[in-house]
Every structure is written in structure tokens, then in C-alpha cells.
Structure 1
């Protein structure tokens, strides 16, 4: 995985008060709503490549992942690395994640960074010569479906990552899909399909109920199209 295996013991961040820890408790995340995983995956069996070349899934791997156009959506099939960036919580902070950053590319409605262990979001590669996601109709807070192990989770585009690596999502995304969400040694090496719907937006970005309802509607149209 891109994030090196340092050690697996998770330690709570120093200085977090009980009130802060309670405030950081994630809300329930709903999985498998709208079209089934099989229906969504049936729309991703062939790739009309729109990326100028392919992406790596990790620093040490070759370039094997293409970004594909599918009419009303864009998709890619990759691994899942864990993004714990954003507001610090007992699960996501500089102690639990050596790569932790306290900001996300797209903020919550209150102007603060997203909370990775509360909001299911995906990470898109930073704009580069390989692919400009904005020119493909994607944007911050855009709606995405993440499919893994016969489960579907509706998420938002919440952060940007390296410009040559693809396949990353928030702690909350991984946990909801049954993937180990530990930022040090979690994630999964393959089998994840990311489907992001063009010209879509979830508002407020942090409202998972809204991202689910928006995603269900867009996914239904995607499957029928």
C-alpha cells in the first residue's frame, strides 16, 4: 500500500478532551441503497479511456489504472488507500496517521475541513497532464458510488491526492464497506470501483443522508441509460 506499514497499534491523540471525542463520534453510514452492485458494475465492463495514460495505485506499482467515460459518469477500478485527513479526531490525527494533514481540498458547509471518519468521501488525483477531473464534469462535493464486495456506498468527492496515483477514500468510506480503515495498515489492494457522476453536487457536502439520496437518483439514471 502507498502508506508504509509502520506499526498497527492505534493511539489516541494527546490533548483531545472527552467533549471533543464525543463530538468526533461518527454517525451511522448507510450502505447498499438504490441500484445493486451488479447493476452498476454491468455499466463498467468496458473502458472508453479519457485519461492521458494510466495511474499507479501506489508509489511502488506500475501505471495500470485508466479513467473511463461512461456517459453520465466517469469510473476507475483500483485499490483503496485510506485518507484520514481533515479535522483531527481520536481515529484520525498525527499520532494515528503519520501522513495526516488537517485540511481537505473541499471544506464542509461551515468552512472547516471534512472529518474523515465521519464523512464518506473519495479522493481524486490532483489535476495534471494525465487527467483533469474538472474537464470531465467532476468537482468538489460531486456524487460518487463506491462498489466493493457486492456493496454500494454513496459518497462525495472530498479531497485531492497525488497527481500520479489513484484509488483512495476516507476512513468512513472504508469502514462502511467492510475494509480495514486504519490509515497505517488498512485499505485493500484491488477490487474497488469508483463511479463519479458528472455535473453533480451534494449540499451540504458533509450530509451523508443527502449524498445517499442524491447518489441513488443519479445511479438509477446511470443504470437505465
Structure 2
């Protein structure tokens, strides 16, 4: 090719680049911290579901009673009243919510220095992924009944958010009632309370409903697809509502 043709060819490429610049799209699930992205559908009666969870205490899971905090005498029991419903299978418990900053954000503000750079099934980012924590011994006993990254519906402060089983507690003693930084902020951040690694929610009034066999698509090592999480969460909770004979809110 002659030098003149080469010059014309280079000029043409440059004009195309100027006319159609490259656009890089950041995945929505990895860049947004909007709590609405993983919040339950507004038609769901969160209060009714919460009351149903508080009353469903006839079937205890043997050996599934855990302290809320080391040194505490306050135990939380895990129940399986909803494990064999017509359309869904779930276990549930009501506990507090300590804050887990393991993974990418392991050195988050307020963390006490015991953070880990990995989570149980990857290295999730606590500031971008809503997850809940399960005692390691319980997870081991459940086997295939509790899959990694299993869906959870978390009722807190009158609201419901979806999360995944992203980490486990293997401390001595193993405790229960813990969520990622993002989940804690969605639940409890106010003008007077800013949730951090060392500032969670002490009251034992958070309901954790775990759909152990349901795993949303789009779970990566560090982040997840929040839209897929919400879609699966709404589907499973609507089925739970049907199984329990509860009603939804009129729109």
C-alpha cells in the first residue's frame, strides 16, 4: 500500500473513532448502592410475614440454638416450620444484626481488626452485596439443604430486603445474627445512626427467612446481580405468602 493510501486509511480510522467513541458500561449491580434494588415488592405485607415468622415456632431444628454475641446468655433458635410447604422450603430465625465486613471491604470503618479478606464462597464486597451470615456448624450439618449463596429474605425495621448466604461464622463460640455492611445500612441507617463495621443493631427483632435451595443467578466472586436477586426473592416470598394463606397489599 502506498504512503498516500496509508495516510488516507489512518485518517478514515480517526474520523470513525471521533464519530463513534467507545462507551464503557458499568454493570448496574456493581456500581449502585440503591437499597430499592434488593428491596421486596411493595405489594408484600411485610408486617404480616414478620408476625407469621414470630408465631412459627413449633418445629425446632435440633442442635440449632446459637448465642447472639460472645459472652451473652441470649440464644436464638432456628425453626423449620416452613421447610415442607407446598411451594417453598425455608427455615427461619429472629436475631440481632451485627455487621460483617469480610471480603473486599474487610478493613471497613469500625471493624475491630478481625476481618478476613475472603468470604465463605469468594471475596464479596460488603459495601455492594447484601448478604447474611450463618454459623458454620449449622451450615455443615445442612449439607445440600443450604446451598452456597442461598436466597434470604430479611425483615428489619419494618422493611424487607433480599440477601444471599455469603459468609459463615466459625468463631468460638459461633454466634448468629449478622449481615453485610450494605444490608445493615439498608435496614438501619438513619440521620442519628450510621451503621459501620463496629456499629450494628443490638435488638433481637430481625427476621431471617432462608430459602436454602434457591440461589439467584449472577453471583460472582466480588459482586452479584441485584436485579436477579430481587426477581428470585419476590418470586419465592410471593409463593411463601400463598402457602401461608396471607394476603398482599392492594395497589
Q: Same fold (TM over 0.5)?
A: yes
Specify the alignment match of 1:39 in structure 2.
Answer: 48
3-state SS of the aligned residue for 1:158?
Answer: strand
Given the two structures, how large is their TM-score scaled by the length of structure 1? 0.77
- Whole-angstrom distance in 2 between the partners of 1:131 and 1:67: 15
- Whole-angstrom distance in 2 between the partners of 1:50 and 1:59: 22
Query: Aligned to 1:85, which of 102, 107, 124?
Result: 102
Specify the alignment match of 1:132 in structure 2.
Answer: 141
Offset, 1:54: 1.4
* Number of aligned positions between the proteins: 192
Specify the alignment match of 2:217 in structure 1.
Answer: 203
Give structure 1 regions of 4+ aligned residues with deviation exceeding 4 angstroms.
none
CA contact (8 A) 2:108 2:196 kept: no
- Whole-angstrom distance in 2 between the partners of 1:51 and 1:213: 32
Offset, 1:158: 0.4
- Whole-angstrom distance in 1 between the partners of 2:228 and 2:117: 24
Specify the alignment match of 1:172 in structure 2.
Answer: 182
CA contact (8 A) 1:119 1:207 kept: no
Specify the alignment match of 2:120 in structure 1.
Answer: 105
Going from structure 1 to structure 2, the CA distance change for 1:51 and 1:118 (only over 3 Å counts) comes to farther
- Whole-angstrom distance in 1 between the partners of 2:68 and 2:135: 11
Output the aligned Cα RMSD: 2.2
Specify the alignment match of 1:182 in structure 2.
Answer: 196
- Whole-angstrom distance in 2 between the partners of 1:154 and 1:27: 14
- Whole-angstrom distance in 1 between the partners of 2:140 and 2:95: 16
Offset, 1:39: 3.0
Give the structure with the higher percent helix. Answer: 2
Query: Aligned to 1:220, which of 238, 241, 246?
Result: 238
Offset, 1:64: 1.8
CA contact (8 A) 2:40 2:230 kept: no
